[in-house]
């Protein structure tokens, strides 16, 4: 089984488009109507959909840490700093994770890019 991704509202469209061309299963926050929700609600949504969240929003890491400490499970977060990794490297790294990984690999974890 491959990892299905959920793109936060701050992810550039070029990353989403590049991954879709490569056959990665993606839903965006804009498509799902969650572009304006708070971080806890967004993590609840990705949990319900059983998708790993990709974000470039540092604040979501605080919510992940809170959930890890309190034992609230979430499907995982992949984080990439906006200035430290190129769009092309994001696409390549996310494709590897999505196609080679298993959902349980990221359960309740934060994966930082670049790999």
Residue 11, pLDDT > 80, answer yes
| Residue 94 CB partners (closer than 8 Å, separation 6+) | 5, 15, 19, 24, 54, 78, 113
Residue 99 has pLDDT above 80, yes or no: yes
User: Phi and psi dihedrals of 67, rounded to 5?
Assistant: -70, -40
pLDDT digits (tens, 9 = 90+) for 18-76: 999 999 999 999 999 999 999 999 999 999 999 999 999 999 999 999 999 999 999 99
Over residues 11-19, mean pLDDT: 97
Q: Once rounded to an integer, what is the mean pLDDT over residues 10-16?
A: 96
Domain 5-113: give its CATH architecture: 3-Layer(aba) Sandwich (3.40)
Identify any residues that bridge with 111 across adjacent strands, giving them in sequence order.
78
- What are the domain boundaries of the chain? 5-113
Render pLDDT for 80-96 as a digit per residue (tens, 0 to 9): 999 999 999 999 999 99
Give yes or no for residue 104 having a pLDDT over 80: yes
Cβ neighbour number for residue 68 with a 10 Å cutoff:
14
Q: Give the confidence band of 1 by pLDDT, cuts at 50, 70, 90.
A: confident
pLDDT number for residue 54: 98
């Amino acid at each position: 089984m491959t990892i299905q991704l959920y793109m936060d509202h701050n992810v550039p469209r070029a990353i989403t488009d590049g991954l879709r061309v490569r056959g990665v299963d993606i839903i965006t926050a804009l498509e799902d109507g969650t572009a304006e929700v708070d971080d806890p609600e967004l993590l609840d949504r990705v949990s319900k959909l059983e998708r790993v969240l990709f974000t470039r929003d540092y604040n979501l890491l605080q919510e992940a840490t809170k959930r890890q400490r309190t034992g609230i499970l979430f499907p995982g977060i992949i984080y990439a700093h906006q200035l430290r990794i190129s769009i092309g490297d994001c696409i390549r790294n996310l494709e590897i994770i999505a196609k080679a990984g298993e959902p349980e690999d990221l359960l309740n974890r934060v994966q930082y890019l670049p790999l």
